[in-house]
Structure 1
Amino acid sequence: MDDVWERSFPFYHIERADAEEIFSKFDKRIEIVDYTPINIGCRNSNYRVATNKGPFLLRILPLNETGYIAEKKAHSIFYGYITIPELLYVSTDNSTKRTCLIYRYIEGTSMQDKIKKNGKLDDMIIKKVAESAALIHNTPFKEDDEGEIYPPFHTWFNLFLNQENVTGRLGIDLKKRVERLVDNKEGDLKVIEKFKSFIHSDFRPVNMMIDQAGEVWIVDWEFSGGGHSLADIGQFFRYSHSFKREQVLQFGKTYNHYSKRNLPADWFELSKLRDLVNPLQMLGAKGSRPNKYKDLKEIIEGTVLFLTINQFINPVS
């Protein structure tokens, strides 16, 4: 799973004085008791900050990152509508020279950790994720809201497959198998293009928390915006061996109950096809991340096999 991936940016180790400066601007009455790094994620640096006013989450973005803009927009749309953490403060002027965000802290467990520990998820968790996905996707979105127009989806695969790093890390044989699959799925690519909405864009279990009451919290909205609804679903089911077939069917049923637009009958296959482009894109990155690239290649191999023979790979019994 993606818990083995190397970080894209080094973890930022904040000094206590810097943390105190940020929190004093948020609320001068707050006194920091302790702060502890949270070693989850590949980009941001997160801390649990214990204070006299209770615990908070301090998130430190990499230098010059602007994901907080999407985070603030998503919070304004969805806070109080679906279960997301409360964004309390954004600091863009502090001694770290990085944008820092303060959230209400959620006491709970990463869904990724829950899967690693138990090998699967409870059915109720699947239903809650499906409900959240549907409510997110009920929000319309126009590409020009962001001032950016994306090329047609069917062109994305060649864009990434033709990169030297992708070819080298995939190997010629697997690259050709992907190309053949994409050629055979031309009609499906056009169907995927029709399902557009506001999306989370990083809708993986690592970005979901399960609190002590069993509620599912959707976190990390820095990539959210307009896109393909099926992209979120494909990301959630990326490691499909962690899900029972019945849970996949229940996801679709619950999603359609809350959604303004029903999923197509072959939504699971389409979501896997949509998600295939993501590991291809990530394989084109610069730098040495052997664990990540190995996992991405395995995801691609598994997805190509699934879409070729159209059955679950090692489903949970």
Structure 2
Amino acid sequence: MEYGWERTFPFLKIDNNIIGELLEGILENDYITNVIPINEGCRTTNYIVDTNIPEKKYILKIFFSKEQNYKKEIKLLAKLKEDKLVNVATIYKVGNNEIIQNREYAIYEYMQGKTIGKAISEGYSIENNFIKDVAQFLAQIHSYKFEKAGFLDENLKVVNELPPLILWYEKFMGSKAKERLGKDLVHKILYIVNKNGHILNKLDNDIRLVHGDFQGTNILIKDNKLGGVIDWEFAMAGHPLADIGQFFRYEEYFSKDMIKVFEEEYNKISSYKLTNDWYEISKLRDLANLIQLINGEGNMPNKYSNIKDILINNITLLSS
């Protein structure tokens, strides 16, 4: 999975005294006993903060860009908590501080578990109970409807309406993507997209809340159950099959039975019903995300090689 990708922003190293100052007002009868940097993730600096009270742990997240939409994430998590959606974190504090170069930060509830990416790297095999939990969770967040696709502001309103989905693929296919993919693969991708234009147009007719980055480093597992879903920075009004395509991006970890279990569990709960060809359409939808990722800046050979392999696999599936 995405475990092992190169970072987009550098990791900010800070000491326990700085972390203690950032947690001022949060700590009561507890005090910091240990601080553990989290190396997963590519865009934020994250630390686990242990205290002398076992059930009291925190996540410190430091943002590197003012475009990281943390205010939207905070508002959304509060809304999901209010609506009794489990598996999302409480946020205790938000601010900025000159001791971390005036960067913005937030203190989150620590959610127990390992990321799926890390668990799989340590030998874990996904099981049906976990698949059911994920299906139920996605069905719940996909129940929030929007009139149009676009990015959300800090009040969870669509502020930047997006063009029709079919136009995204060529828009994202910039010079970096073309260089990394090669002329032949670019041609195949755009051919598949245009051939399935009528399917993509249908996806634009039913817009829902989506996580936007529903992949291995943002999904926690604990005792073979869904422990939590983190990093809602890319949440938007979009296509439910985008989240589903990201979840099933690495086919080697999912059996046909698991895919069927997901479909049945999701359709039990969701008002957004999966059709018979939902799995293939999710791969088609995920092409847009993958093209955007491989068009990124910087020298990240692990990341771009991994993405190219997935793109080739998706095109092979969609061409059969």
Give the alignment's TM-score, normalised by structure 2.
0.91
1:165 corresponding residue in structure 2: 176
* C-alpha contact 2:91 2:108 (8 A) present in aligned 1: yes
The 5-angstrom pairing of residues 43-54 of structure 1 reads 43-53=43-53, 54=56
C-alpha displacement of 1:231: 0.4
Unaligned 5+ runs, structure 2 = 151-156
Count of equivalent residues: 308
Q: Secondary structure at the match of 1:210?
A: strand
Change (3 A) 1:81 1:119: closer
The answer to whether the aligner puts 1:11 opposite 2:11 as a matched pair is yes
Q: Secondary structure at the match of 2:92?
A: strand
Which of 167, 170, 174 does residue 155 from structure 1 map onto? 167
The answer to whether the aligner puts 1:141 opposite 2:146 as a matched pair is yes
1:85 corresponding residue in structure 2: 89
1:186 corresponding residue in structure 2: 197
1:58-82 per-position Cα deviation (integer Å, ceiling 9, x unaligned):
1111143442112112212212323
The 5-angstrom pairing of residues 49-128 of structure 1 reads 49-53=49-53, 54-79=56-81, 80-96=84-100, 97-118=102-123, 120-128=125-133
* C-alpha contact 1:131 1:258 (8 A) present in aligned 2: yes
How many percent of aligned residue pairs carry the same amino acid? Answer: 32
Higher helix share: 1
d(CA) in 2 for partners of 1:3, 1:205: 7
1:3-46 per-position Cα deviation (integer Å, ceiling 9, x unaligned):
13110011111222221111114346542222110111111111
2:187 corresponding residue in structure 1: 176
* C-alpha contact 1:201 1:225 (8 A) present in aligned 2: yes
Change (3 A) 1:272 1:134: same
- Aligned-residue Cα RMSD (Å) equals 1.8
Runs of 4+ with >6 A deviation: none
Q: Secondary structure at the match of 1:88?
A: strand
Change (3 A) 1:21 1:142: farther
Unaligned 5+ runs, structure 1 = 310-317
2:270 corresponding residue in structure 1: 259
Q: Secondary structure at the match of 1:175?
A: helix
d(CA) in 2 for partners of 1:179, 1:7: 29
1:266-312 per-position Cα deviation (integer Å, ceiling 9, x unaligned):
11111110001111011211111111111111111010001111xxx
Q: Secondary structure at the match of 2:217?
A: helix
Give the alignment's TM-score, normalised by structure 1.
0.92
2:285 corresponding residue in structure 1: 274
* C-alpha contact 2:134 2:226 (8 A) present in aligned 1: no
d(CA) in 1 for partners of 2:294, 2:280: 22
